[in-house]
Structures are given as C-alpha cells and as structure tokens.
Amino acid sequence: MKKALLLPALALSLTLNAQIAITEFLCNPSGSDTGHEWLELFNYSTGSVNIKNWTIEDEDFDSDIITTSDYTIASGDYVIIASNKDDFEANWLSGNSNNMVFGVPIILGNNSDELILKDDNGTVIWNLAYGNDETQGNATFFTEDDFSTTDYGDKASPGVDRDGNDVTGKLGFEKNNATSDGNAYTASNGDLGSPLLGDYTPLPIRLSSFSARKTEDKYVVLHWSTASEENNDFFAIEHSVDGRFFEELDRVLGAGTSSITQHYEFMHRNPVDGNNYYRLRQVDFDGSFTYSDIKVVNLNVSGEIKVKPTLVQQNLEISINEKLINNGTVEVVNWLGQVVMIEAFPESADKLSLDVNDLEKGHYVLKLNTGNGIKSARFIKL
C-alpha cells in the first residue's frame, strides 16, 4: 500500500466553529409568551464549549447576550435559554433552580422568526428561520442527529416548515405532535417538549474539511481535518471510476479520541483518465463506520497513448502518436497502486501488444514513460 501521511495537529492553522446546535424551541406557549418561551442548545462535539458573551439574535437586529460569565457546556450536555428563568423552572422543573437555565429576554414570533446563535467573535454557529403558525403549546424540535446542516434559511425563505408535512423527520425540524419524541412529556401548563432530555448524541467524528485536488504531475491529493474525534480507529480512502462502486485504496490511522484539530493527507498516485471519485470511510474501534461526502476530480492523463479494447480478456493493443526519446517502459498498475506488470516499449515502435490474460479481473491503469513525461490510460480486465 502507498504510505499515507498523518500531519501533526496544528492548533492555530485552522479556525473552527464551535459545535452547538439549537435543538428545540417553544415560540407559542400556553399562557404568557414573555414568561414561557424558551430554546434549547446542545453541544454535539466531543469537547467542551464556553458560551461566555455568546448571543441570540434575529434579522431584526434584536440581540441578547446569553451570559457574561464563563459557562462551559460539556460534550453531550444542554442549556436552556428561557425568556423568564423563574417561570421556566416553575413549569418544567417543579420550581427547582438549575444553573443550566439562563434567563434571557428573548422574544420569539409565533408565526415566523429567525434564531441566530453567535459566538463571542460574532461568528454564526447555528441559524434557523421558521414559518407557518405553530399550534399553541407545541415545541418544535430537531429530528436529525448528524448535524451536517447548521443553516436553516432566513425570514424571507424559512428553512423550518411546521405545517405538518415533515412527518418523516428528514427536513431537520418539525413539531412534536407530528413525529413521536420519545422524551416528550406534559408540563403543568400543558406545553409539550423535552428540554434537557433530548435523544441527541455527540458526533464521534466531525469533519471540518475534506478536499481533493489534482497536482501538476497528475496525481490527486486528498486533504481532510477533524475538529474532534471519539474512538476513531482509522479512515479508509475509497476510490471509484463511476461514482457507484468503490474500492479501498489505503488506510490512515485515526487519532482515537481527541478534542483538538487533526489534519490528514493522502496522495493517489494512480488516478485514471476522466472522473475519479473519492470518499472517506471512518471506522470506530467497535467496527461501526460512516461515510463522508464524495469528491470528484477530473483528469486528462491519457495524452497520446491509446489502448484497445478497454474491456479486455487477453491481448491489449497499445499505440502512441509521439516519438519516444528513449526506450519506453510500460507499467500496469492495479487499483491498490501496485505495479503488476512491466514491459519494454522500444524507441522505434509505435505499437505494442500486451498479454494480460493472467491479470486478475478489475480496473487497471497503464502507464508509459515516453521521455516527455508519463502517459496513462485505463482498461478493465474481464
């Protein structure tokens, strides 16, 4: 296998947004709006987040500071932002005070509004805009826990639609009288919701970036970084020529459990002519795994070399429309990057026939060093 490179973590090389989500809110409560409105924040990272001087805003420039003191939300923990702390604790916590509840004079529109969560630097951490009147007393809660989306529209085009059609839970948020919330309960004022008791779990791996780019020598370099990791065994780098069937190229060891930024790099030295599809398969120590998004890199590596047939059983015909500076060398490389066949290509020749009958079935790249550079073409052994 080709050697994969794990770069040392550089804490100052990349600025990452904190991983806090707005997982539930109640904008049209039973009783007093000013007393009973609230929203819930959840830390879905594997590290702690300090919310000192964080704000809740909307498009109308309302801005409220959550706390001016140091307060850290641990991984997997919640806080509640309540328009009236005392009323919230009376209605939801049987009158017991809880330091996870912050009294902030938020005002949430019953029909529509926008909630913008910003950190102490003014960076937007989570944004959601909701439309359609909500039934009085029903909270709106987050229905997915992959946290892949942090922006849910604006007031002109709300990303949270609460008209009851989103019963599959695939659009991110919906009202909890349409889809069952296992932790919902009825408070003394009749409101439905689950503050501090949601089903969400922190993400074991949070990819903060993943890119694929071609180099001048027609290789492909993959870069990715994680903001946090938990029980991460390794990343498998997978490649496809059609975007459907992927094969593993190599593996890169993960950092196990980490709350600091980790950077990774892998170079694919044998990409094919045309589209190259890449994805990461992140595997935990227990064998569970998840896939990244797919990246596509298009290469024109064939140059003047041609092979036929491209679907071959025995004899592969190679032709070149370029004079060789010296005797050329033909290499056949499998999908693992291993050279499985080498053949001389005489300087005076413009054609060569290769017997590939003994090759295993699969995808191959043929490479010819012409003296002017390496020319490549791909074929499939049947």
Which stretches of 23-177 are DSSP H helices?
33-36, 85-92
Walk me through the domains of the chain, giving residue ranges and CATH numbers.
20-193 (2.60.40.1260), 203-299 (2.60.40.10), 305-381 (2.60.40.3080)
| DSSP-assigned letters across all residues of 140-156 | EEE---S----EEB-SS
* pLDDT tens digit sequence for 231-244: 889 999 999 887 77
DSSP state for residue 158 in the 8-state scheme: B
pLDDT-above-70 percentage for the chain:
72
Give the residue-averaged pLDDT of 31-44: 77
Give the residue-averaged pLDDT of 139-159: 74
Determine the residue type at 312: V
At 2, the pLDDT band (50, 70, 90 cuts) reads very low
- Whole-number pLDDT of residue 371: 61
Which of 13-27, 295-309, 350-364 has maximum average pLDDT?
Answer: 350-364
User: Rounded to the nearest 5°, which phi and psi values hold at 52?
Assistant: -60, 130
Neighbours of 228 (CB within 10 A): 25
Give the residue-averaged pLDDT of 10-17: 33
* pLDDT tens digit sequence for 41-60: 888 776 678 999 999 998 77
Tokens 């994805």 belong to 279
Give the range among 73-87, 169-183, 291-305, 322-336 with minimum mean pLDDT. Answer: 169-183
Q: Is 365 helix (H, G, I), strand (E, B) or coil?
A: strand
- Whole-number pLDDT of residue 35: 65
Q: Is 294 helix (H, G, I), strand (E, B) or coil?
A: coil
Give the residue-averaged pLDDT of 260-282: 86
- Whole-number pLDDT of residue 289: 78
Tokens 């993400």 belong to 203
